[in-house]
Chains A and B, each alone.
Chain A
Amino acid sequence: MYKLILPKRYLLRRKITYLAILAVALCVFIVVVVMTVMNGLVEGFRDKNHDFVGDCIISTDSLVGFPYYQELLSRLETEQYILAISPVAHSYGLLSRPGSDQNLGIEIMGVDPIRHSQVTGFGDFLHYHKNDPVAAFTPRYATDRMGCVVGIDKMWWQRDRAGVYTHSPTPPQMELILSTFPLTAKGALARADLDAVLTESFLYSDDSHSGLVKVDGNMIYIPLEKAQVLFGMDGDTPRISAIHIRFTSGTNLTAGTNKVRDVWGAFVTDHQNRTYADLLDHVRVESWIVNRRGAIAPMEKEQTMLIFLFLMLGVITVFIIFVVFYMIISYKSKDIGILKSVGASSADVVEIFLRFAAFVGLLGAVLGAGIGCAFLVRINDLEGWLFTNFNWQLWDRSVYAIGEIPNTIEWEVIGLIIAFAVLACQIGAVIPTIQAARRRPVEILRVNQV
């Protein structure tokens, strides 16, 4: 019983203990805040990539694309685990405005707006047609003309310091000219004998805000059939660049991707003797994670590095606890002598001080986590207040794509941090405790007597 009473009393009566608790609380506070924000940034970035791709993608890097996709679409549509599919034609081109000599290099994606919205977040990315993608390519001010959706950063919308784009109430009337270089199925210029460049005029219909800088700054969406013409993917054997796939709810990503891979394998086997079958050779079936790895991995690496840096902060916590406990135990060595003189074992003494360390760790960690959570809940308000009163922001929203500071508290992470803090306190306390417990009572009591 004294092994419970004594740690509790040490905790309440020793002022130096408050310093230890404060040190732990401070470390936990920093870790909770930074880990939550960093986790939020990474998770947010992953979600945006997921929304852009869908669950799975059959794609080729070749600008020529791959043929026989209608048959593949038919096969995929019969699969129970697939909710929706969207064929996409993708290539590069030039963007200009009438009367302007300036040409901008762009990516062009041809999509069926309804199908693509069922697979990806396309419908949600739109501004004037938000969640109403049917008319995405129909300009409101000229419904008989062909429209296009422009990546939001390609537009000239102003972005305020809070990161909000200022749209006019109605879409601006604007003509955009796309120039492409259509290719044959063999990869040659389709119009080599004519003018190699194919030019088509579109009206601005809407813009798309995916939250991915590269996409929003380079992409122009047009109807799939029009894109196929512009890329030379039309004709007797029409081609596409990719099929985006959304799985039904509850389908495991890896298992679903593997099943699609099987479907693709069978499809390739069935078409191996057909014309342009070689175009099927370089098509990949990937989950969205693998497909977007190039974009996500650097951020995940940063997160790993941060975790490593905070492990070092944990080492500092251990050292602080070690120093504090060294002082506390030196101060309480008389108690150890007394306890051993009345028959307490070395293990009992170790247990008392490790419990004391656990109390310090738990109290400090809960305090730090509590303050950290409270801080996170108000972090955006606080930043807003700082911006309003002192014109200070964590980052400039008019420059960076990230909007609010991520502050979703993950209780599993908080639990882990608390557990680690308690463990760190145990590690910090164990050496001075064992050292003290191993001393003979007479050594301690004689010194204290002097």
Chain B
Amino acid sequence: MSQILVSKRMFKSYRMGQSRLDVLKGIDFAMKPGEFVAIIGASGSGKSTFLHILGALDKPDSGEVYFENQRLDRFRGGQLNHFRNKMVGFVFQFYHLLDELNVLENAVLPAMAATGTFGWIKQKKAVTQRAKELLERMGLTQRLRHKPYQLSGGERQRVAIVRALINQPTLLLADEPTGNLDSETGRGILMALEELNRDGQTIVMVTHDERIATRAHRIVRLVDGIIVENG
């Protein structure tokens, strides 16, 4: 089976005043469609930076990143927006929902971003139906009209997962999805991710928690910007 995501000799550093902080020091990574990979590492090991580059939210300083055999690190403008909108869904540790929108509106946001006003009018019914199904699957049927501040942390994260899935992306990236939740709620989120993976969803999850990482098919361990374990 061909690889869905590949990175070769990926380097990334940040300027910190006069000095330079090397975050990623030549990452080689590959994953197949349908895999559930956990990237684990201590705080500052570069795992979130790695995930952001895989999700095209950031760019590497050097090296190559391939998504379905296309050079992701060379995507520009509309190509980049299309990738973020259609190909990848992002789940953040701090949920990052829009306070002004309710649960349903947050869930369909990527679908709205994909089209203009008239296009949205045409597809609104179908997208809303899909969002409701996903929200029902996440146990949020009673919360459709609630604003994010009216939800618990776990509920917010489940809304974020629905938002990430609304455009049926090839790849789901989760950055510490349980990092801000209590263990019970975190377990629920993990179960949701496992269920999605069973349905064929490719998932890359960043975590610093060994127990959570064991729920994935494969663990990639990062230490000081280098992969020290891959399997």
Contacts and interface: CB of A to CB of B under 8 A. Distances in A.
B78 A345 contact: yes
B114 interface: yes
Contacts of A340: 57, 84
Interface residues of A, number: 27
Interface string A321-345: 0000000000000110111111111
B101 interface: yes
A6 B109 CA distance: 11
Given A2-B112, A445-B57, A341 B86 contact: no
Nearest to B58: A442
A448 B94 CA distance: 9
A343 B110 contact: yes
B113 interface: yes
Interface residues of B, number: 34
B100 A9 contact: yes
Contact of A343 (B58, B81, B99): B81
B100 A6 contact: yes
Contacts of A2: 101, 105, 109, 112-113
B163 interface: yes
Given A10-B100, A445-B96, A448-B94, A339 B57 contact: no
Interface string B130-172: 0000000000000000000000000000000001000000000
Nearest to A3: B117
A9 B84 contact: no
Contacts of A123: none
Interface in A9-34: 9-10, 13
A282 interface: no
A342 B85 CA distance: 5
B100 A13 contact: yes
A449 B101 CA distance: 20
Contact of B84 (A1, A6, A334, A342): A342
Contacts of B110: 342-343
Interface in B24-82: 52, 55, 57-59, 77-78, 81-82
B98 A335 contact: yes
A334 B96 contact: yes
B100 A441 contact: no
Interface in A329-365: 334-335, 337-345, 348
Given A341-B57, A343-B84, A345-B77, 8 more contacts: A1-B121, A2-B112, A334-B96, A339-B109, A341-B90, A343-B86, A345-B78, A348-B113
23 contacts: A1-B112, A1-B117, A1-B120, A2-B101, A2-B112, A4-B117, A5-B105, A6-B98, A13-B100, A337-B96, A339-B98, A341-B57, A341-B90, A341-B96, A343-B86, A343-B110, A344-B81, A345-B78, A440-B58, A442-B52, A445-B92, A448-B94, A449-B93
The 6 closest A-B pairs by CB, nearest first: A343-B85, A9-B100, A342-B110, A442-B58, A442-B57, A1-B120
